[in-house]
Structure 1
C-alpha cells in the first residue's frame, strides 16, 4: 500500500486521534503536533505518563486505556469516544518507548480492529520499531519514511473528505 493511501486511511470522519509523547513544551513536536490536531478540529488525546493537562486537553497516561474504551464503546474521562470508528496514533516518543508502546498495544484485546493508523514521526522509530509493528500485524497501517503530519496531514484530511 502506498504511503499516500496509508495517510488517507489514517484520517476518518469518526476517528479518534492520540499523540504518544505529547508535551507541554512549545518547542517540542509533541506540543506542535497535538496543537495541529486541535487547530484542525480533530479530537486528539495526549498520552504522557508525567503530565495531567496539555493544551487544555486532559492527558491519558497510557494507550491501553484508550483502546479498551473505544473497543467497549465507553467514554474516557472527558473524551466522548463511545461512537468513534477507531484510533489513529501519532508517535513522538524515542524509538525505545515506541517499541514498548507497540508491545503494550499488542496485549490489549481486539487492538487490530481499533487501531486504524500508526504515524511514526521522524525520530520516533528505528528498524526495531518497524519490526515490532510487523510482528504485531500492524505494519500495513504504518506511516514512516520521514513523513511528518505537519507537512502531509492536510493532504490526508482532504483525501479522507474531512
Structure 2
C-alpha cells in the first residue's frame, strides 16, 4: 500500500484519534499535533501518563484504556467510544516508548481490527519500532518516512472525503 493510501486510510468519518506523547508545552510537537486535530474538529485523545488535561481535553494515561473501551463499546472519561469504527494514533513519543506502546496495543484482544492507522511522526520511530509494528501485524497501517500530519494531514482528510 502506498504512503498516500495509508494516509487516506488513517482518517475516517467515525474514527477516534489519539495522540501518544501529547504535551502541554506549546513548543513541542505533542502540543502542535493535538492542536491540529482540535482545529480540524477531530476528537483526539491525548495520551500522557503525567498530565490531566491538555488543550481542554481530558488526558488518558495509556493506550490500553482507549482500546479496551472501544472493544467494550463504552465511553471513557468523557470520550464517546461506543460508536467509533476504530482508532488511529499519532505518535510523538521517543522510539523506546513507541515500541512499548505497540506491545501494549498487541496485548488487547482484537487490536488488529480496532487499530486503523499508526502515524509515526519524525523522531518517534527507529528500526525497532518498525520491526515491532511488523511483528504485531500492523505495519501495513503505518505512516512514517518523515511524513508529518501537519504537512500531509489536510491531504488525508480531503482524500477520505472529510
What is the match of residue 124 of structure 2?
A: 124
The root-mean-square deviation of aligned C-alpha atoms, in Å, is: 0.4
What is the match of residue 17 of structure 2?
A: 17
The aligned runs of 1:82-161 (5 Å cut-off) are 82-161=82-161
Following TM superposition, by how much is the alpha carbon of 1:57 offset from its aligned partner in structure 2, in angstroms? 0.2
What is the match of residue 52 of structure 1?
A: 52
The 1-side partners of 2:77 and 2:51 are apart by 15
The 2-side partners of 1:137 and 1:45 are apart by 23
Report the secondary structure of 2:19's partner residue.
strand
Following TM superposition, by how much is the alpha carbon of 1:46 offset from its aligned partner in structure 2, in angstroms? 0.1
The 1-side partners of 2:81 and 2:13 are apart by 13
The 2-side partners of 1:95 and 1:127 are apart by 9
The 1-side partners of 2:113 and 2:77 are apart by 22
TM-score, normalization by structure 1? 0.99
Q: Name structure 1 gaps, 5 residues minimum.
A: none
Moved over 2 A (4+): none
Following TM superposition, by how much is the alpha carbon of 1:149 offset from its aligned partner in structure 2, in angstroms? 0.1
What is the match of residue 30 of structure 2?
A: 30
Deviations 1:42-92 (A, max 9, x none): 000000000000000000000000001111111111001110000000000
Count of aligned positions: 162
The 2-side partners of 1:44 and 1:82 are apart by 15
Report the secondary structure of 1:90's partner residue.
strand
Report the secondary structure of 2:155's partner residue.
helix
What is the match of residue 74 of structure 1?
A: 74
* Alignment partner of 1:2 is 2:2: yes
The 2-side partners of 1:72 and 1:112 are apart by 15
Following TM superposition, by how much is the alpha carbon of 1:105 offset from its aligned partner in structure 2, in angstroms? 0.6
The 1-side partners of 2:122 and 2:67 are apart by 24
TM-score, normalization by structure 2? 0.99
The 2-side partners of 1:77 and 1:91 are apart by 21
Deviations 1:122-145 (A, max 9, x none): 000000000000000000000000
Report the secondary structure of 2:104's partner residue.
helix
